[in-house]
């Protein structure tokens, strides 16, 4: 008898028909002798629609109220899933995040899980029930409802799998697994059989929407085996697991693109110790993630600094930039929104050379200009114009021959 967490994403529960199909899979897993915990997302485009609605009533809705609103999407899904499982003759019980003590910090719309109390879930399982948990939501220490950032149901699922020491965390989605690139943008992208936590973490952070990055951090830390697969068929998907030695033979595992990028430039800031720390400190204080950072060579004691943030944080990033500019006595701020980040990822990069050259040559052949570059041990990222992102993605995927299965 196993303990299995099954997470169904928005498209997998979009309609009554699909909820019933997902419920049938849950029931099948239970009747095979397993204890099953189900995590569900909001149906279809519910979350996007709620965000649009919020924008219609307010230009800048308070983040606490956004969370209050968005959490209703998942709450609908758990109730419907519990009904569907019940209708198939298995006992079930649905839980909102707060009801199972998913305690988070208080950073609304991108809260981080601090603790989960498994007792109610375990009690449900002991009573032969399927436990059905709302993804993406939690509660802070003052009982405010929080959400975990877009795609956060993945993190709820993996965190539960970690806490409950599940045998596997199955992520049911609308593609057959993790591909070498987004299969909707690169038609000859190939499904990857097994991928290491580190590569998946990079791909997810760099724009491969299929898993929320934070979920992979949890998975790596607690050794949770993840199986990403389709909710529409029984095909084997992709296993996200600890690194195995032979994985390093593959130089590039995947290519990702993110259009949720914006560039902030601070011009004419003083070039002295502590300036960079002041700027980054101001962003950290507002919980705005800064990704790439470039500082120009200085002249006459002043310099320029550019950094990238998530485009969804740009409104707030502008305010922070204005405040630090004033604080430091800089000259001006500039902002660029229509940019994208394109990245290649692979643990084989540690031991192979020439990866950057191949990537840059592929971009040059497409006439794509590179605005910023950053590298780590297992990835190379460039900032380019958003308008050329999709063709650049295809070109780079092609340059590394990723459609072909590795030997």
The residue ranges that bind Mg ion (CB under 5 A) are 9, 151
**Burial (Cβ within 10 Å: 0-12, 13-18, ≥19) of residue 385:** middle
103: which strand partners? 115, 139
CA pair distance 161, 171, nearest whole angstrom? 11
**Which of 166, 208, 251, 372 is in the footprint of ligand ADP by CB under 6 A?**
208
- Nearest CB to ligand ASP, comparing residues 110 and 220: 110
**Which of 94, 153, 173, 308 is in the footprint of ligand ASP by CB under 6 A?**
153
The first and second tokens of residue 280, run together, are 């980054």
Tell me: does residue 6 bind ligand ASP (CB under 6 A).
no
**Residue in 21, 29, 262, 43 with CA at minimum distance from that of residue 134:** 43
Tell me: does residue 136 bind ligand ASP (CB under 6 A).
yes
* Binding partner selected for residue 47 from ligand ASP, Mg ion, ligand ADP, none, CB under the kind-specific 5 to 8 Å limit: ligand ASP
Site string for ligand ADP, 183-202 (x = CB under 6 A): xx------------------
Tell me: does residue 175 bind ligand ADP (CB under 6 A).
yes
Tell me: does residue 73 bind ligand ASP (CB under 6 A).
yes
Is the separation of the CB atoms in 54 and 69 below 8 Å? Answer: yes
- Nearest CB to ligand ASP, comparing residues 71 and 253: 71
Distance of CA 139 to the CA centre of its chain: 20
DSSP code string of 278-341 = HHHHHHHHTTPPEEEEEEPPPBTTEEEEEEEEEGGGHHHHHHHHHHHHHHHT--EEEEEEEEEE
> Hey, which residues between 42 and 71 contact ligand ASP (CB under 6 A)?
42, 47
**Which of 10, 44, 97, 346 is in the footprint of ligand ASP by CB under 6 A?**
10
Residue 205: other Cβ atoms inside 10 A = 22
Tell me: does residue 108 bind ligand ASP (CB under 6 A).
no
* Binding partner selected for residue 179 from Mg ion, ligand ASP, ligand ADP, none, CB under the kind-specific 5 to 8 Å limit: ligand ADP
Q: CB-based contacts of 93: which residues, under 8 Å, 6+ apart?
A: 82, 124, 129, 130, 131, 132
* Binding partner selected for residue 42 from ligand ADP, Mg ion, ligand ASP, none, CB under the kind-specific 5 to 8 Å limit: ligand ASP
- In angstroms, give the least distance from the CB of 225 to ligand ADP: 18
Helices 153-163, 213-222: axis angle to 10 degrees equals 10
- Nearest CB to ligand ASP, comparing residues 116 and 395: 116
68: which strand partners? none
- In angstroms, give the least distance from the CB of 94 to ligand ADP: 19
**Residue in 180, 206, 203 with CA at minimum distance from that of residue 191:** 180
**Burial (Cβ within 10 Å: 0-12, 13-18, ≥19) of residue 365:** exposed
- Nearest CB to ligand ADP, comparing residues 74 and 291: 74
Tell me: does residue 207 bind ligand ASP (CB under 6 A).
no
- In angstroms, give the least distance from the CB of 94 to Mg ion: 20
The first and second tokens of residue 119, run together, are 């007792």
* Binding partner selected for residue 150 from ligand ASP, Mg ion, ligand ADP, none, CB under the kind-specific 5 to 8 Å limit: ligand ASP
Site string for ligand ADP, 252-271 (x = CB under 6 A): --x-----------------
Q: What is the largest CA-CA distance in the chain?
A: 77
Tell me: does residue 250 bind ligand ADP (CB under 6 A).
no
**Which of 121, 124, 178, 396 is in the footprint of ligand ADP by CB under 6 A?**
178
* Binding partner selected for residue 93 from ligand ASP, ligand ADP, Mg ion, none, CB under the kind-specific 5 to 8 Å limit: none
**Burial (Cβ within 10 Å: 0-12, 13-18, ≥19) of residue 33:** exposed
> Binding residues for ligand ADP, per CB under 6 A?
9-12, 41, 151, 173-175, 178-179, 181-184, 208-210, 254
Binding site for ligand ASP (CB under 6 A): 9-10, 41-42, 47, 73, 135-136, 150-154
């Amino acid at each position: 008898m196993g303990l299995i967490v099954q997470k169904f994403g928005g498209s997998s529960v979009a309609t009554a028909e699909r909820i019933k199909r997902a419920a049938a899979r849950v029931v099948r897993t239970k009747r095979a002798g397993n204890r099953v915990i189900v995590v569900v997302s909001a149906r279809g485009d519910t979350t996007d629609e709620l965000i649009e609605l919020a924008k219609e009533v307010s230009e800048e809705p308070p983040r606490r109220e956004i969370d209050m609103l968005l959490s209703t999407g998942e709450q609908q899904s758990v109730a419907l899933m519990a009904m569907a499982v019940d209708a198939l003759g298995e006992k079930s019980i649905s839980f909102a995040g707060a009801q199972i003590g998913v305690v988070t910090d208080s950073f609304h719309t991108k809260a981080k899980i601090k603790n989960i109390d498994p007792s109610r879930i375990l009690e449900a399982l002991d009573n032969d029930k399927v436990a059905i948990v709302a993804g993406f939501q939690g509660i802070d220490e003052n009982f405010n409802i929080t959400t975990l950032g877009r795609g956060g149901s993945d993190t709820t699922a993996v965190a539960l799998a970690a806490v409950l020491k599940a045998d596997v965390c199955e992520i049911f989605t609308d593609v057959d697994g993790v591909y070498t690139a987004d299969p909707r943008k690169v038609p000859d992208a190939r499904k990857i059989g097994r991928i290491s936590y580190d590569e998946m973490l990079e791909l997810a952070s760099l724009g491969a929407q299929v898993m929320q990055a934070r979920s992979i951090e949890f998975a790596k830390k607690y050794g949770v085996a993840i199986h990403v697969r389709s909710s529409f068929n029984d095909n084997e998907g992709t296993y996200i697991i600890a690194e195995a030695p032979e994985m390093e033979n593959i130089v590039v595992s995947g290519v990702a693109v993110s259009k949720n990028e914006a560039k902030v430039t601070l011009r004419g800031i003083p070039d002295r110790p502590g300036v960079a720390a002041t700027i980054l400190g101001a962003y950290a204080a507002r919980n705005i993630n800064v990704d790439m950072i470039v500082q120009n060579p200085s002249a006459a004691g002043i310099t320029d600094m550019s950094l990238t943030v998530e485009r969804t944080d740009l409104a707030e990033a502008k305010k922070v930039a204005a405040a630090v500019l004033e604080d430091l006595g800089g000259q001006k701020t500039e902002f660029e929104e229509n940019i994208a980040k394109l990245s290649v990822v692979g643990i084989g990069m540690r031991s192979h050379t020439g990866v950057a050259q191949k990537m840059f040559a592929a971009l040059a052949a497409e006439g794509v200009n590179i605005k910023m570059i950053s590298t780590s041990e297992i990835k190379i990222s460039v900032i380019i114009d958003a308008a050329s992102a999709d063709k650049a993605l295809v070109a780079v995927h092609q340059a590394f021959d990723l459609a072909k299965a590795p030997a």
